Structure 1
């Protein structure tokens, strides 16, 4: 009897199978760490570097008011005597030194990049969310309902695909700017930009979701939901939608990089963010005016930041696409 455990000697009940399973069940953190997605991420140096760069840039933009030496959106903090200061060189008039130099208005380029990234990321994320909501909704309806509804939605998508997305965004931006009164145009410029980019990128979400919905709607769980009296809307949202989200997440990641580039393109063309709230594209447009006069840093640093942000997000999207593809993981 002395060799028996204390719990058995005291008459305690041994653990059942379910209780033993609960004791040995790993935590959510351990389950996430041991998942296939986490394993593929740890095996990809490119994905880890891209994630680190993306996280660094996003955190820098979020905490820009704490990191930036000055607020470039506050005219009271600007000194025109600091204009065109070279990177790391003291200004000959004020003696101030700036890490990445200043632009023509005396704004610290490093501070404008941090604040400009906030606008670029905000526009990109909101535009992708708008495109996702619109594309997923139309794709679910087209794939589940079918018939004339499917034909109309897909023909509209095909027509939009015949035009470059940047031209569609320019058209939508121009129409919206024409409707908005002049005194509110600068205030609404960011939201008009989000609307223009979002409406120009919904097609790819709709086509992917429609194709996945056509596959899912014939499966047994959808038929069972119909038999118990579930409505079409509940079936699409609660049953089909969770099973078609994997490719949507991949497209959303890649679309974020494209949306940031689209915002920079529109702002570079002068139809994006206003000069009082410059995004990365606006900073590049301003720097391009002074490139050939020797003030290269006004263009160089914002362009490098935009390149690093778009490239890192795009590389993350490529890795996520490969990681979620079961054919590549066999």
Structure 2
């Protein structure tokens, strides 16, 4: 641990107030989502705990009928907005992390194969990637989500909606990983350590996994961090459009869609606080990704 703390990476982190602040925001939000059942004053999705008389209670103001006070107010069903944000964060972060992991696995695997094998394998993989890049990622995700939801039996659609959302976002975001890993693999495969591995009889998959992969992970880590913010925003966009998380498992995007319907009737807090949470999360993750890019690329120092 002391060696890690004394490393150049840790030194650069300590010297960057932006990185420290962004990391602190992300940690607070992630921990709040993980421990939501312990932190949230109410379970907003348990009908037995709801009181419709608490509906539309402004932030910090005692309810006129029940006398209950809520930090961030309540929505139309009397659900505590603070509690709904904590539980919505869990869905948004779970979808974001899972989608990035899926995109990373697919992209890194295809990028390694394209860069190391070359030939027809590289041509097919990269042409598919080029075609996918001509379409906005959100449209690709909507198309995949629509097709996957269409082939899912109606009785399982709500149960499978989150997993379908993860697959849709993951399949729309693998191209960046594949392109970067392919370029790095083209450089690494001609180096002496790879030639030595071939001479001692190591197979292609073994060389890719044990020798080339560890040397191309730095840019992958940066892309994964930035892609996490994009995946969270993509999930929020899909849920806001009504084609993402189901109402029974609302994410931040779903909460924003619900709040948007009450914005012009005066209940501004239902929209404002989930929006601020989403903005803070996406901005903090993006700032972390920018700092990682600068810290792991000596040319930018």
After TM superposition, is the score higher than 0.5?
yes
SS at match of 1:295: coil
Paired with 1:141 and 1:88, the residues of 2 have a C-alpha distance of 57
Which of 125, 133, 148 is the matching residue for 2:120?
Answer: 148
Query: Who is 2:138 aligned against?
Result: 166
1:156-206 Cα shifts (integer Å, max 9, x gaps):
000000000000000000000100011100000000000000000000000
Q: In structure 2, what is the equivalent of residue 111 of structure 1? A: 83
How big is the shift at 1:93?
1.1
Any runs of at least 4 consecutive aligned residues in structure 1 with deviations exceeding 2 A, and if so which? Answer: none
Residues 1-330 of structure 1: pairs in structure 2 closer than 5 A: 29-329=1-301
Gaps of 5+ in 2: none
Computing the radius of gyration from Cα coordinates, the structure with the larger value is 1
Task: Give the secondary-structure state (helix, strand or coil) at the position aligned to 2:57.
Answer: coil
Q: Distance in 2 between matches of 1:80 and 1:288?
A: 20
Aligned to 1:15: none
How many angstroms does 1:268 deviate by?
0.2
Q: Return the alpha-carbon distance in structure 2 between the equivalents of residues 179 and 31 of structure 1.
A: 52
For structure 1, the residue ranges without an aligned partner over 5 or more in a row are: 1-28
State the alpha-carbon separation in 2 of the partners of residues 228 and 75 from structure 1.
65
CA deviation vs aligned residue, 1:258-289 (integer Å, no higher than 9, x gap):
00000000000000111111100000000000
Aligned length: 301
- With normalisation by structure 2, the TM-score equals 0.99
In 2: Cα distance, 1:284 partner to 1:111 partner:
14
Hey, what's the Cα distance between the residues in 1 that align with 2:145 and 2:77?
A: 28
- The alignment yields a C-alpha RMSD, in angstroms, of 0.6
Give the TM-score normalised by the residue count of structure 1.
0.91
